[in-house]
Amino acid sequence: MGTTKKEKFNARQNRLAAIFKAMAHPARIAIVQQLVKSEHCICGELVGELGLAQATISQHLKELKHIGLIKGCVEGTRVSYCINEKVWQQVKKECDQFFVTYYAKEACH
C-alpha cells in the first residue's frame, strides 16, 4: 500500500480522516457508547461489558486516546477512562460541518 501523502490535504481533511479512522472499528464504537452511558469506566469493566480480552480493549483505548476523544486518570493501580468533553465537542462540530455541506440534489442514476 502506498503512502497517504497527507501533505496534499488540508488540516481539516486530515483531522476528519484521523477521527474516522479511530472510530472505524465496532469495538471502539462500543467503547465510546459505554463511556457515554457510564460517564467513566475502568478497563476491566469494559472487558466484562464487551467480552473482549483486556489487551484488545487496551489497544482500542490507546487509539481513542491518541486522537484525544477519551482521557484516562490513574486511580490506584487502575486507570479510569472517560470522554474528553472538550475534544468531543470539537469532533462533533467538525463532523456536523462535514455532513452539513451536502444538499440534496436531483438523484443520480
User: What's 92's domain CATH number?
Assistant: 1.10.10.10
**66 in any annotated domain:** yes
DSSP the chain: -----GGGS-HHHHHHHHHHHHT-SHHHHHHHHHHHHHS-EEHHHHHHHH---HHHHHHHHHHHHHTTSEEEEEETTEEEEEE-HHHHHHHHHHHHHHHHT----SPP-
pLDDT at site 101: 75
**63 in any annotated domain:** yes
**2 in any annotated domain:** no
Is the predicted pLDDT of residue 1 greater than 70, yes or no? no
Hunting for cell 466484562 — which residue is that? Answer: 48
Half-sphere CA count of 107, side-chain side, radius 13 A: 1
pLDDT at site 3: 62
**47 in any annotated domain:** yes
Is the predicted pLDDT of residue 108 greater than 80, yes or no? no
User: For 44-72, how does the pLDDT look when each residue is reduced to its tens digit (9 = 90+)?
Assistant: 889 988 999 999 999 999 999 999 999 99
Greater confidence (108 vs 92) lies with: 92
Count of structural domains within the chain: 1
